Amino acid sequence: MTDAGAPDARLAGRTVRRIVFGADAIHRRVAELGAEITAAYPDGELLLLGLLKGSFVFLADLAREVRRPLHVDFLGASSYGAGTVSRGAVELLYDPNTVLRGKHIVLVDDIVDSGRTLARLVDLLAGRGPRSLEVCALLHKRAAPQFQRPVRFVGFDAPDEFLVGYGLDHAEDFRHLPYIAGLD
Q: Which residues are catalytic?
A: 113
Q: What angle do CA 104, 107, 113 make, to 5 degrees?
A: 150
CA distances, 153 to each of 4, 30, 51, 139, 140 (Å): 29, 10, 15, 10, 10
Name which of 11, 18, 14 is nearest 3 in CA terms.
18
Q: What does the alpha-carbon distance between residue 155 and residue 122 come to, in Å, rounded to a whole number?
A: 19
